[in-house]
Amino acid sequence: MKRTLPFDVVSPMTVMAEAFREGRLKLKKHHYTEPVTFQDSCNFVRNGGNFKDARLLMGQVAGDFREMHPGGVHTYCCGSGGGHGLMSEYKKLRLATAKAKAEAIRRTGAKVVVVACHNCEDGIRDCVKEYGLDCEVHLLSNYLAEAVELGGAS
Amino acid sequence: MALDTIKISETLAAKWGARLGMWLEICARCGLCAKGCHFFQSDPRPEHVPAYRLKPLRQVLAAKGNISEADMAALVDTVYGTCTMCQRCTMYCPHGINIAFMVRATRALAVSVGLTPKGLASGLANALEMGNNLSITAEEYQETLDWQLEEVQEEMPEAACPVDQEGVRSMVTFHPRDIKFYPGNLYSYLKLYNAMGEDFTFTSQGWDSTNIGLFAGDDAAAGTLAGRVVAAGERLKVQRVVTAE
């Protein structure tokens, strides 16, 4: 039987975007200059419908943001979803089938891929390594934390 | 070792429902789902067409659960090895068939006879036994929080790291790797939540919001793991629970 929870369940992206909209979270405008793209996660974006929050935050801190195609609800899985990050028995196949994702990243020309999901972090790291992409991979929280404007309400 | 086919039949019966039956019935094998799948797009083989992943389920149904060990091994390879349950194929299906849903139902059959792939099974065992999938102890957890708070305080002297605070707005949970392998992530969370003035707390219980039971297709375990996070949120009377990134 379905149970009603006495609280809401939200993703960190939503919490940060909300604080940014309300002016509570100050982030340095275009703190980063290198080309960067964002990995939409299947759970947060395709199933959670949470597309705009990441754009709002990335648009603020990234001077050269590039959309991945396919992206949004059409995003390809990072390859590490559904428990694949933990099943070494299928790693070879997982890397072989990360090709579509690798090409999508390569087409953006980005030097950084920001991810907002730990599974994606592993999946994209493996993908970047396997296909020799010249990209760093960063977790959204880490990417934003470095761009936080501290000290007074500026 | 022979398979416990009774267990398979029972699990299948428990999983069975109108939705599942209808989807199996209406799949026309048109193959449009192939366009949606990164397995097929990267490596176009017939076994990588999402509709193919329904084959083991059909087989089990036709045999009324009485399938051979070889067929069961093939089932495991198909539903665990060739699908990340990302649900992209569903968007390309003219009927909107949720293949991931059925893959998960089929995974449950493997779980019922103890054939969960090793990596998933061991992470799941850790999570059930230790409260988090990396077997982090309560001491390790608290020490890491204290350590990262000190680091953050060098930059933000007023920063705080509340644990088990009742009645606040947000209870923030983690992936165990934030504690064990990437404490720098924790640093970032503390910095962000303090900077935005969020009324938040961490929790000493139920802080791992990952759910390997859900991946494995083990409903009982998935319920236990999710239940711990729910219990923590209820105990602390928070307005919202923030999931792991």
Residue A57 belongs to some domain of the structure? yes
Give the whole-number percent of chain B exceeding pLDDT 90: 98
Q: What is the ipTM of this complex?
A: 0.95
Note whether B245 and B193 are within 8 A (CB): no
Asked whether the bond before A70 is cis by omega within 30 degrees of 0, the reply is yes
For A15-30, the pLDDT digits (tens) are: 999 999 999 999 999 9
The rounded distance, in Å, linking the Cα atoms of B166 and B61 is 50
Mean local confidence (pLDDT), A109-131: 97
Return the number of CB contacts < 8 Å for A and B: 165
Q: Which residue of A has its CA nearest to B120?
A: A86
The boundaries of the domain holding residue A95 are 27-145
Q: Which residue has the tokens 């068939």?
A: B97
For A57-92, the pLDDT digits (tens) are: 999 999 999 999 999 999 999 999 999 999 999 999
What domain count does chain A have?
1
State the sign of the Cα–Cα–Cα–Cα dihedral B94, A82, A145, B200.
positive
| Amino acid A154: pLDDT | 43
Average pLDDT value for chain B? 96
Domains and CATH numbers, chain B: 5-115 (1.10.1060), 120-242 (no CATH)
Q: What is the CATH number for A118?
A: 3.40.50
- Residue B121, H or E segment: helix B118-130
Q: What share of residues in chain B are helix, strand, coil (percent, to 5)?
A: 60, 5, 35
For A29-61, the pLDDT digits (tens) are: 999 999 999 999 999 999 999 999 999 999 999
Helix/strand/coil (H, E, C) string of chain A? Answer: CCCCCCCEEECHHHHHHHHHHCCCCCECCCCEEEEEEEECCHHHHHHCCCCHHHHHHHHHHEEEEECCCCCHHHCCCCCCCCCCCCCHHHHHHHHHCCHHHHHHHHHHCCCEEEECCHHHHHHHHHHHHHCCCCCEEEEHHHHHHCCECCCCCC
Is the CB of B240 inside 8 Å of chain A's CB atoms?
A: yes
Residue A98 belongs to some domain of the structure? yes
β-partners of residue A148 are: A27
Residue A53 belongs to some domain of the structure? yes
Smallest Cβ distance to B177: which of A47, A88, A118?
A: A118
What are residue A22's phi and psi, to 5 degrees? Answer: -80, 0
Residue A7 belongs to some domain of the structure? no
Residue A21 belongs to some domain of the structure? no
pLDDT category of residue B1 using cuts at 50, 70 and 90: low
Residue A117 belongs to some domain of the structure? yes
Give me the sheet containing B170-172, strands edge to edge.
A8-10, B240-242, B170-172, B200-201
Residue A101 belongs to some domain of the structure? yes
Is the CB of A28 inside 8 Å of chain B's CB atoms?
A: no
Residue A17 belongs to some domain of the structure? no
Is residue B149 classed exposed, middle or buried when 0-12, 13-18 and 19+ CB atoms within 10 A define those classes?
middle
Give the burial string for A17-28 (b: 16+ CB within 10 Å, else e): bbbbeeeebbbe
Query: Helix, strand or coil for residue B28?
Result: coil
pLDDT category of residue B107 using cuts at 50, 70 and 90: very high
Is the CB of A127 inside 8 Å of chain B's CB atoms?
A: no
Query: Helix, strand or coil for residue B42?
Result: helix
- State whether B119 and A87 contact (CB < 8 Å): yes
The rounded distance, in Å, linking the Cα atoms of A13 and A114 is 12
Q: Which residue of B has its CA nearest to A72?
A: B88
